[in-house]
A = this chain, B = another copy of it.
Amino acid sequence: MKRSDRLVSLMHYFLENPREHTSLPVFGEQYKAAKSSISEDLDIIDRVMRAEGKGYLQTLPGASGGVRFIPELSEENSMAFIRQLCTMLEDPERMLPGGYLYMSDILGDPKMVNYLGRILATAFHDSAIDVVVTVATKGIPLAYATASVLNVPVVIVRRDPRVTEGSSVSINYVSGSSKKIQTMVLPKRSLQEHTNVCIIDDFMKAGGTINGMINLLDEFNANVSAVGVLAEAEDDEDERMVDHYKSLVNITEADGKHQRITAVPGNISPYS
């Protein structure tokens, strides 16, 4: 196989299998090529991906040595995208009762969500993450987009127990904004003990829902190593119940009376 053909095939493989460790002899075998040729292919891919701010190839030395593609999004690409998202969110038509914003169109766009997932995964690249946990329903797409890039599974916490999941652990929690007592459920078999967890959700106000997830995950002796949300909004009355998190955007103003929304990059921004 010629270099040009190998590069096309390898790129498809790396993008379909992010963070998957593959040893060089596997490629050599598959493409019937010398190790030195494969190494040159990988150098080209690594160089182009870095130059475009889209990730890099990580080489793992030693007997079990090999390579894996780490998808990332450069700060420049990320910030340009987040600023565009802020502009979209400031459309007054999005205003809903209770200081909420209509975001289903944004969360319903797979390409946009995949992009946001890559930004979050880039921010969490130093964290130990075995699984992404979210709560039904709106956080699910962003959770999958993030998990895809991190190459880990997704576990979905539900607000209603379902017959189709077997025995489960449930907790009650107080929603920070509405002060209502709510329930969260996670099937026992969905999470092993002592797992490193990244929590993803779409929206955080006082943080009651995410705090509830942290308490539920405590029951599984999980280690919450990262928390990421699409949007955070300020809450006048309450202190935030969650300390360490990354937000993509920050809704600093959602004034229903004057139909005015102000959105700025969240604390994921290096300038925030």
Residues of A that sit less than 8 Å from B by CB: 3-5, 7-9, 11-12, 15-17, 44-45, 47-49, 52, 54, 96-98, 100, 102, 104-105, 108-111, 113-114, 136-137, 140-141, 144, 147-148, 151, 153-156, 158, 163-166, 187, 189-190
> Considering the complex of A and B, which 7 residue pairs feature the smallest CB-CB distances, nearest first?
A11-B11, A110-B148, A8-B48, A100-B164, A108-B153, A136-B137, A7-B7
Known: A5-B48, A104-B165. 6 other contacts (CB 8 A): A4-B7, A12-B49, A16-B111, A98-B164, A104-B155, A108-B156
Bound-complex Cα distance A16 to B12 (A): 11
CA distance A98 to B4 in the complex (A): 54
B45/A8 in contact, CB under 8 A? yes
Q: Which residues of B contact A15 (CB under 8 A)?
A: 11-12, 15-16
Q: How many copies does the complex hold?
A: 2
B141 x A12 contact (CB < 8 A): no
Residues of B within 8 A of A141 (CB): 140, 144, 154
Query: In the bound complex, do residue B137 and residue A9 qualify as a contact, i.e. CB atoms below 8 Å apart?
Result: no
Chain B, Cβ-Cβ closest to A98? B163
When chains A and B are docked, how far (Å) is the Cα of A9 from the Cα of B50?
A: 11
Do the beta carbons of A104 and B49 come within 8 Å of each other?
no
Residues of B within 8 A of A98 (CB): 163-164
Which chain B positions have C-beta within 8 A of A16? Answer: 15, 111, 114
CB distance from A113 to the nearest CB of B (A): 7
Asked whether, in the complex, the Cβ of A8 is within 8 Å of the Cβ of B5, the reply is: no
B residues less than 8 Å from A111 (CB atoms)? 16-17, 148, 151
> For residue A189, which residues in chain B have a CB less than 8 angstroms away from its CB?
102
